[in-house]
Amino acid sequence: MLENAGYALVIVSNQSGIARGLFTEEQAQAVDDRVIELLAQEGVNIAGSYRCPHLPDAPVAAYAKICDCRKPQPGLILRAARDLHLDLATSWVIGDRARDIVAGIAAGCRTVMVSPSPPRHDAEVLNGSQPEHFAHDLVDAAGFIIGHAART
């Protein structure tokens, strides 16, 4: 739905399992490649995929650092915008965690949270940042974004 409406679809993900030594960057890349392949088989094209492998107190020393790419920091979103020539003011971040929403707002995007209500179970805090919509699922999120674009 979103791709047909003219939006580039980008995956932005924290993957602290790399920093914890649970899997390698190569294994994470293989999973990303397979997900992108499966989506392509369904006619969904992913314009880019970005991941943060860092964790400040990680047991794998190479990834133990504070960075600007780990959400809620907006670094990965900003990198995707540069690489893919995206206009962040007209872009949306859809996420299921508070850190996704905070990162999207910090990057200058509009946001939708996939959660039927404000996330009481989420240990993270939105810190006053509120998504424009709480969606029940990705179809609801896409419908809201497309409807919003039609109204503006």
Give 33-92 pLDDT, tens digit per residue.
999 999 999 999 999 999 999 999 999 999 999 999 999 999 999 999 999 999 999 999
Q: Is the pTM of this model over 0.85?
A: yes
The three-class DSSP label of residue 51 is strand
% the chain with pLDDT above 90? 85
**CB 73 within 8 Å of CB 106:** yes
Domains of the chain: 9-151 (3.40.50.1000)
pLDDT recorded at residue 116: 63
pLDDT digits (tens, 9 = 90+) for 93-116: 999 999 999 999 999 999 999 986
Q: How far is CA 36 from CA 24, 57, 65, 71, 93, in A?
A: 18, 30, 28, 21, 18
